Amino acid sequence: MLAQQCWPWGIGTARHSCLGQRGDCPRAQGSVRWPAARLAHTGVRFHIQQDSDIPASSQLYNQICFAIAARHYPPGHRLPSTRQLAMQTGLHRNTISKVYRQLEIDGVVEAMAGSGIYVRDQQKPRDIKLPPGPRGRSLPDIDREVRQSVDGLLNAGCTLQQARDLLTREIDWRLRCGARVLVSTPREDIGASMLIAEELTPQLEVPVEVVPMEELDAVLESSNNGTVVTSRYFLQPVEAIAQQHGVRAVAVDLNDFRHELDMLKELREGSCVGLVSISPGILRAAEVILHSMRGNQLLVMTANPDVSSRLLGLLRAASHVLCDRPSLALVEQTLRQNRSQLMRLPVVHCAQSYLGSATIDALRKEIGLLQS
């Protein structure tokens, strides 16, 4: 149980806090200043005391409880997302998710799959209401649908108790699958996870966390709620880990990059092409694909945007540069800072999407989120 001591919140910039055990905080080796963003719809701010003996998770837990008790967050109010709280407090989103789960266990909030975390009305029992939207309109008689499902199980030879157990187990499993999404790839290509998470976060309305595959077993050991998402390149090892904990692993489809490939096909022989990405795996795969398309007709260079010397060398040599969205800012900054050293500016093309256009909708259905 988290500490039961209330602490006042502060105003202004919150310092990043190292939580609990070592390894909880990805920035634990340095002091980092994070912007304190104002949360939507309220003026509530949370502040984490860096040097306090009270664990950061307990500080946040008690501050949220106080905000609810003081009706800064009234019953039925949607709480800030883990992303919003991470921006304001500097805490790791995994830590914030743990705080929200503890609040739910304690009956303070309730999680609604596909919608968010809401303040629970302590004075009223929880009602089961049909959600609005296309699904609600297409099923006007929910009672009839339930009866037909039960009748189907009975006709298959199940007893009423067995039917109840089967339905409960299936519903509980689906709720667990929709509680959060863990994006996992090997640590050496964690950039691929970051690209996937960047596109999933605004689309899923549930916590999306990046977990290196080497740490996935330990994360699922502590809590097996959620669905593990990965690239098809890593599905087999990730799936093997997830299955040990009764968790589903889903591979998302990548963008086919048809526009980019068509552009590369049209480059004249002898052109130098630069590929820039935060994912080493993407760079390796793209280099192989490009070579299979054009053979030795093109000179291909690759760079991670964080390796400044290699990036500058690529920009000096390449006539055309292809990059992913997280890399674009560093590419443009390097071009501005070194304009005088460049004989000519390369043509820069940024791939706007890493995931396929239909894969996010498919994932929403997989984890039980309603279509918007």
Could you give phi then psi for residue 222, rounded to 5 degrees? -80, -30
Tens of pLDDT, residue by residue over 295-325, are: 888 999 999 999 999 999 999 999 999 999 9
Residue with tokens 């330990």: 218
Degrees to nearest 5, angle at CA 164 with 160 and 165: 120
- CATH, domain range 258-351: 3.40.50.980
Residue with tokens 């905000």: 67
Tokens of 349: 């093309």
CA distance 193 to 79: 26
Tell me the fold of 177-255+358-366. Answer: Rossmann fold (3.40.50)
What pLDDT does 27 receive? Answer: 35
CA distance 46 to 56: 11
Please report, for residues 31, 283, 309, 315, 346, the alpha-carbon distance to residue 335 in angstroms, rounded to integers and kept in the order given.
Answer: 30, 21, 12, 7, 9
Query: Is the distance from CB of 89 to CB of 14 less than 8 angstroms?
Result: yes
CA distance 116 to 206: 6
What pLDDT does 21 receive? Answer: 37
What pLDDT does 302 receive? Answer: 96
pLDDT tens track, the chain, 372 positions: 444 433 333 323 333 333 333 334 433 333 333 333 333 345 678 877 766 677 888 888 878 877 776 667 877 889 999 988 988 888 898 999 999 998 888 777 888 887 889 987 644 444 444 455 544 445 457 788 888 888 999 999 999 999 898 888 877 777 777 778 999 999 999 999 999 999 999 988 888 999 999 999 999 998 878 899 998 888 888 989 999 998 888 888 888 788 888 899 899 999 999 999 999 988 988 888 888 788 888 999 999 999 999 999 999 999 999 999 999 999 999 999 999 888 889 999 999 888 887 888 888 887 777 554
CA distance 184 to 241: 11
Tens of pLDDT, residue by residue over 161-175, are: 998 988 888 777 777
What pLDDT does 89 receive? Answer: 86
Q: Can you name the residues that pair with 118 across neighbouring β-strands?
A: 78, 110
What pLDDT does 69 receive? Answer: 62
Where do the domains of the chain lie?
A: 14-119, 134-176, 177-255+358-366, 258-351
Q: CB neighbours of 141 closer than 8 A, spacing ≥ 6?
A: none
Q: What is the pTM of this model?
A: 0.56
Q: Are both 14-119 and 258-351 of the same fold?
A: no
Query: Is the distance from CB of 372 to CB of 115 less than 8 angstroms?
Result: no
Q: Kindly compute the dihedral angle of the four CA atoms of residues 292, 298, 299, 301, in this order, to the nearest 10 degrees.
A: -60
CATH 1.10.10.10 fits domain 14-119: yes
Q: Kindly compute the dihedral angle of the four CA atoms of residues 131, 133, 138, 139, in this order, to the nearest 10 degrees.
A: 0
What amino acid occupies position 361?
D
CA distance 152 to 149: 5
